[in-house]
Structure formats: C-alpha cells, structure tokens
Amino acid sequence: MSSPLPSVPAASVLDLAPVVPVVVVNEVADAVPLATALVAGGLPAIEVTLRTACALDAIRAIADGVPGAVVGAGTVITPTQVTQSVAAGARFLVSPGWTDVLLDAMKASGVPFLPGVSTTSEVVALLERGVREMKFFPAQAAGGTAYLRSLAGPLPQARFCPTGGIGPTYAPDYLALPNVGCVGGTWMLPEDAIAAKDWGRVESLAREAAALRPRG
C-alpha cells in the first residue's frame, strides 16, 4: 500500500513544471526508472495514462519508489477509475473530457483534477461548478494558441493545461499565454529511448523541456 504523501493544493498542479509528461507505460519495470529520469530532468508532475493494463501498477510503483515524483492518472473517464487511481497513489487526475457523473467523482476524490474541455460552453459549465483549472484537449486540433488566446478575454478566471499535438516547437507559444499554466506532451519520451531503456536520454530531454519557461 502506498505511504501517505503530502497533498497537492488544487491551484498548484499547473504550476509544478512547465511541462507535464504524458506517459504510457507498457511494462511496470519501466515505471520507476522512467519517472526517476523525468524528475531528475526537472519534470516532477507525471501523468500516467490509463491506456494499458499495467497503468495502475505503474502509478503505484512510482508513488512508492520515486519520492520526488507527483504522479497522476490520465485518461480517467469513469468513477471507478477515479477510485482505483487514488487508491494506487495518484495525486492528481486528468480526463480527456467530462460529464456530471465523472466530475462529481473527481470532486469527491480528495485530489486535484483537470477535466478536459475543447469548447467555450464546456469551460463556462465548469466555471459554474467551481472548477477553474482544466485540460484543453486536443489542443492543436481544437484551435491551438489562437483559441486559448480568445478565451483569455471573456474567461480570464479559467486556466489550462493544453495537451494534444504539442511538441517543443509549439510549447513556448502556449506557455506565453496568460491562461496557460503548463502543457502536456510526450516528446521527452521517444519510443526508441523507452525500448532501449535509455533513461539518460529521457532525462536530457526532460531537462530541455523543463527549461522552456523559467520558474521563479
């Protein structure tokens, strides 16, 4: 069972690092060395997506074995996954979209969460429910920086973690927006590096990502 960890204030998930790695773990044995490399590179917030059979075990392994990591669960789409993720040690939750049922479960979980949005109406609906921090997905396909810039005027209270199609070329443009706290991405996790267990390369790419916007 995971040992107790300090809570993450809801307002701080977007501020832990400029980039949140979106991780797909295919082998549990990779979870700890991969997370260790990301943390060493300056990216402590790690979103492990629930897209593989071993994802919950990977979250548990990172929560237990990488003290500097703030591990979260991504692709959360059911209340059951909310419960399972928190039990495994997830310290935040990320969904690609949201429903009232899912939102209620995430609110009741006791950990910060980023429900996914791609339209203005979804943002307004979340603001009505008291939610101010959201995932903007799929970022590039849904309008990119131009869309988020347009939202900043009428809805300045909403803050976003854009994810989807973002790489090191586009990330600085997103991070320059006043309503963006961080971006989600996978470019620091190339498939060939993971297959080769080249954690040094992952750490190097993570360090480059962490430097995209200085934290003061």
- The predicted-structure confidence for 129-147, as pLDDT tens digits, reads as follows 999 999 999 999 999 999 9
Half-sphere exposure of 1 (CA within 13 A, CB side): 3
Half-sphere exposure of 179 (CA within 13 A, CB side): 24
Report the chain's mean pLDDT, rounded to a whole number: 94
- Report pTM: 0.93
Compute the distance between CA of residue 69 and CA of residue 55 in angstroms, rounded to an integer: 16
Please give the pLDDT value at position 200.
98
Please give the pLDDT value at position 215.
46
Question: Which candidate in 135, 197, 203, 208 is catalytic?
Answer: 135
* DSSP track, 44-105: -EEEEETTSTTHHHHHHHHHHH-TT-EEEEES--SHHHHHHHHHHT-SSEE-SS--HHHHHH
Q: 124 pLDDT exceeds 70?
A: yes
* Active-site residue, 135 included: yes
Question: Which candidate in 27, 47, 133, 208 is catalytic?
Answer: 47
What confidence tier does 13 reach under pLDDT thresholds 50, 70, 90? Answer: confident
Q: 216 pLDDT exceeds 60?
A: no
Say which residue, 129 or 7, is predicted with more confidence: 129
* DSSP track, 146-184: HHHHHHHTT-TT-EEEEBSS--TTTHHHHHTSTTB--EE
> Encoding tokens for residue 136?
């903007």
Please give the pLDDT value at position 213.
74
Please give the pLDDT value at position 8.
55
Residues in the chain: 216
- The predicted-structure confidence for 154-177, as pLDDT tens digits, reads as follows 999 999 999 999 999 999 999 999
* Active-site residue, 128 included: no
Q: Is 91 helix (H, G, I), strand (E, B) or coil?
A: coil
Instruction: Average the pLDDT over 181-191 and give the result.
Output: 97
What confidence tier does 75 reach under pLDDT thresholds 50, 70, 90? Answer: very high
Please give the pLDDT value at position 11.
47
Q: 179 pLDDT exceeds 50?
A: yes
Instruction: Average the pLDDT over 21-29 and give the result.
Output: 98
Please give the pLDDT value at position 113.
97
Q: 10 pLDDT exceeds 50?
A: no
What confidence tier does 1 reach under pLDDT thresholds 50, 70, 90? Answer: very low
Nearest by Cα to 188 from 22, 52, 28 = 22
Percent over 90 (pLDDT), the chain: 92
Strands annotated E in the chain: 19-23, 45-49, 70-74, 93-94, 113-114, 116-117, 133-136, 159-162, 183-185
Say which residue, 137 or 11, is predicted with more confidence: 137
